[in-house]
Amino acid sequence: MPLDSGATIGPFTLAYQTYGTLNADRSNAILVCHALTGDQFVCEPHPVTGKPGWWSMLIGPGLPIDTDRYFIICANVLGGCMGTTGPAETDPETGRPFGLTFPVITIGDMVRAQMLLVDHLGIDQLFCVIGGSMGGMQVLQLASAYPDRVFAALPIATAARHSAQNIAFHEVGRQAIMADPDWHGGDYAARDIRPTRGLSVARMAAHITYLSETALHRKFGRNLQDRQRLGFSFDADFQVESYLRHQGMTFVDRFDANSYLYITRAMDYFDLAAEHGGVLADAFRPGGKPTPVRFCLVSFTSDWLFPTAESRAIVHGLNTVAANVSFVEIASDKGHDAFLLDEPEFHRVMRGFLEGLAEHRGLGQRLVASR
Amino acid sequence: MPLDSGATIGPFTLAYQTYGTLNADRSNAILVCHALTGDQFVCEPHPVTGKPGWWSMLIGPGLPIDTDRYFIICANVLGGCMGTTGPAETDPETGRPFGLTFPVITIGDMVRAQMLLVDHLGIDQLFCVIGGSMGGMQVLQLASAYPDRVFAALPIATAARHSAQNIAFHEVGRQAIMADPDWHGGDYAARDIRPTRGLSVARMAAHITYLSETALHRKFGRNLQDRQRLGFSFDADFQVESYLRHQGMTFVDRFDANSYLYITRAMDYFDLAAEHGGVLADAFRPGGKPTPVRFCLVSFTSDWLFPTAESRAIVHGLNTVAANVSFVEIASDKGHDAFLLDEPEFHRVMRGFLEGLAEHRGLGQRLVASR
């Protein structure tokens, strides 16, 4: 497969999960795209952590993304570390882990790989493509590059380009990883060691950006671990410190440091307008005509990583070409993470949008009648 | 000197600079308190970097903090690394660098040390105490603990307590330092090595919080280093990456990693209300009476590290005791760093406040008539 960098990759593995049943005319497939540290285990326990899938609240029988009605596909992104070919996998040419010899990939490459899977499954047109954060970038990319291959698109808490601040936070994480002597220029796997300290710091820094100040305050405030008094040491005095350290430590058990470098890089490189002469609207004007894809955008009021203004910019681009678009800003104080949390209004919006589409496409009945 | 932790410290050195001339009745002294990574070289070239002092724009002959009129004192904080006793200094008892045997200090301890200097200079009452960010915390602490020793207080871009998000960012920085194998449990100085990689990552993460998203966007946007194309590598493709790396690399030349741990800890521990039964107003009600100190608070609209709401909370506490307080929120898109930058309205506010006070105190004329 050709890559945006000019390199090629292949053969490669794309690890994916499906839920529900593909109907006879293959018209009920929903592609779910995961975020930076997500994976294909979207609504089943994670094989490493044993925790529920990251959208278990949203995907399942009778849930907004109803597995009795739709056929859900979720693939680990190219460059990932949950089975899809990425820097931690063995390079068949050398018999050694790729490490930094893995090519730098883009959101476009991730989507191209997923479309090979969609082809492989014999699906001409996806019913919908859905994703939040980096998943939303893939949604935008797919809808822009393959307007005839998807009926509707649901980009959530995302942006058409990574901002300077977002790039800056990613760069801090990458520097933390690369500063870890156990990183060994990316060649740690061959040495049977992992840069866990650097990756943990990267995760801690990123995790702060996923939460709002309000959420952190409500959750922890200045509460102490030992409620009696300050420790006057560098142990975790405050609950928020202990929480962050835990986030960092558990993350390294399930994620590869080089994958983190590659995937953050792909996000930084994402700039949908740049591929269209700097005019975002042109990303949604294939062959000079308005995109046929139906869009529903969702943002959250307290998300400062992918603020509402970024969604508005996309809506503006879609409006410019008179595309079919709806946009909902959900009032939430949970920050960027809101798209992964129990936000009833968000879930209602998703259910409503999909039900409307399903009616339009004649997917009005649940495929499994008895449950 | 007793410390808030219960430990004691001494003898210790407090390194300071003064500018201007103390008048005959010692009534024109302004104590300037520096921020986390600041120092006493407030309006003269930095001895290590050679760069202008961090408030050169604000302090000097004819400037808002007029050295022809006022006597300026600025001391390196306790725990610092520019001459004042801190973890990098030699413990006289062991003949080795303190490292982590240095006691954990608080903003209260920093202020207590500075008051010894004020005593030493024979100054009964400071004309004013001024500082931004952590400097503002010292201002609040001093005004609260020594209401009769200071005529007026100017806390800028600060808070009466460090928030959960602020603690979280500091913890990331500390973990980055402590994850560096060259840190050696704080005992790196004895090994003639320094945890520069960890300290550099800490500085990078912190630096993002000093700028607004708007400032980062205006300054860098998604501009590339090589304007032609993406590099498809992990080199600094974007200007914002290169800038951050530079911030990290130059910082380690002038700052001690252990000092960074101690000073961030002091900020995290700061909670003025907690010292007064959780009632902030009581911090400004010495002996049950309204504080005699005149306050002027300044915040900046785009400061998300110490947002205006934090200053408002202080104003609210001061209003509760009917203190003499004015408050100005300056419209600026430069983020927290605005207090260090060329912000004409901020400089006008400072000049106006000080001139009003000076008139009130009979400091109406400039001490140096001819210039």
Write the pLDDT tens digit of every residue in B291-315: 999 999 999 999 999 999 999 999 9
pLDDT in tens, B332-343: 999 999 999 999
What is the side-by-side strand order in the sheet with B29-33? B16-19, B71-75, B29-33, B126-132, B150-156, B294-300, B324-330
Nearest residue in chain A measured CA to CA from B196: A179
**3 state SS of A2:** strand
Q: Rounded mean pLDDT of A39-45?
A: 98
Tokens 């300044």 -> residue:
B298
Mutate to test the interface with A, among B5, B174, B234 (most CBs of A within 10 A): B234
**What phi and psi, each to the nearest 5 degrees, are found at residue B125?**
-135, 125
Look at residues B80, B77, B82 and name the one whose alpha carbon lies nearest to residue B111.
B77
Q: Which residue of A has its CA nearest to B221?
A: A164
Q: Give the torsion sign (CA, B210, A208, B274, B98).
A: negative
pLDDT at A364: 64
The H-assigned helical ranges of B52-95 are: none
Residue B183 confidence (pLDDT) above 90: yes
- Quick check: A368 pLDDT over 60? no
Indicate the class that CATH gives domain A16-162+273-360.
alpha beta
Measured distance CA(A14)–CA(A71) in Å, rounded: 18
Residue A360 annotated in active site: no
Q: What is the pLDDT of residues A284-311, one digit of tens each?
A: 999 999 999 999 999 999 999 999 999 9
In tens, the pLDDT along B201-233 reads 999 999 999 999 999 999 999 999 876 789 999
Confidence of residue B371 (pLDDT cuts 50, 70, 90): very low
CB contact under 8 A, A169 and B240: no
Nearest Cα neighbor of B78 from B34, B40, B113, B42 is: B113
Ordered alpha helix ranges (H), B123-238: 134-145, 164-179, 196-210, 213-219
Instruction: Give A41's contacts (C-beta < 8 A, 6+ positions apart).
Output: A17, A47, A53, A54, A74, A82
In this model, does residue A369 exceed pLDDT 70? no
Whether A7 contacts A105, CB under 8 Å: no
CATH of domain B166-264: 1.10.1740.110
A159-216 tens-digit pLDDT:
999 999 999 999 999 999 999 999 999 999 989 999 999 999 999 999 999 999 999 9
Whole-number Å distance between alpha carbons of B55 and B42: 5
Contacts of A304 (CB under 8 A, 6+ apart): A209, A212, A335, A336, B213, B304
- As a whole-number percent, the residues of chain A with pLDDT over 70 amount to 98
Nearest CA distance, B176 vs chain A (angstrom): 6
Predicted confidence at residue A363, as pLDDT, reads: 85
From the number of C-beta atoms within 10 Å of its C-beta (0-12, 13-18, 19+), residue B11 rates as exposed
Indicate whether B239 pLDDT > 90: yes
Whether B307 and B299 have beta carbons less than 8 Å apart is answered as: yes
What stretch of H or E contains B340?
Answer: none
For the segment B164-173, the average pLDDT, to the nearest whole number, is: 97
Was A245 annotated as part of a binding site? no
Is residue B133 part of the annotated active site? The answer reads yes
Q: How confident is the model at residue B363 (pLDDT cuts 50, 70, 90)?
A: confident
Residue B235 contacts A, CB cutoff 8 Å: no
> Please, is A225 exposed, middle or buried when counting C-beta atoms within 10 Å of its C-beta (0-12, 13-18, 19+)?
middle
pLDDT tens string A84-104? 999 999 999 999 999 999 999
ipTM > 0.85 (yes/no)? yes
Whether the pLDDT of residue B370 is over 80: the answer is: no
Whether B226 sits among the annotated catalytic residues: the reply is: no
Q: Identify from B98, B203, B223, B232 which residue to disrupt to test chain A contact, counting A C-beta atoms within 10 A and taking the largest count.
A: B232
Among A39, A66, A109, A133, which one carries the catalytic annotation? A133
- Mention every residue, 6+ apart, whose C-beta is less than 8 A from residue A311: A155, A157, A158, A159, A297, A298, A299, A327, A329
For the residues A18-23, what does the mean pLDDT come to?
97
Q: Which residues of B touch A220 (CB under 8 A)?
A: 164
Average pLDDT over residues B241-245: 95
Cα(B51)–Cα(B301) distance, rounded to whole angstroms?
Answer: 28
User: For B272-291, how does the pLDDT look when each residue is reduced to its tens digit (9 = 90+)?
Assistant: 999 999 999 999 999 999 99
Residue A370: pLDDT over 60: no
Sheet with A150-156, side-by-side order of all strands: A16-19, A71-75, A29-33, A126-132, A150-156, A294-300, A324-330
Question: For the segment B13-43, what is each residue's pLDDT rounded down to a tens digit?
Answer: 999 999 999 999 999 999 999 999 999 999 9
Question: For residues B363 and B27, is the Cβ–Cβ distance under 8 A?
Answer: yes
Q: Domain extents for chain A?
A: 16-162+273-360, 166-264
Q: What are phi and psi of A70, to 5 degrees?
A: -115, 160
Q: For the domain covering B16-162+270-360, report its CATH number.
A: 3.40.50.1820
**Within its chain, how far is the Cα of A200 from the centroid?**
20
- Answer whether residue A362 shows pLDDT above 90: no
**Is B149 annotated to bind ligand?**
no
Contacts of A289 (CB under 8 A, 6+ apart): none
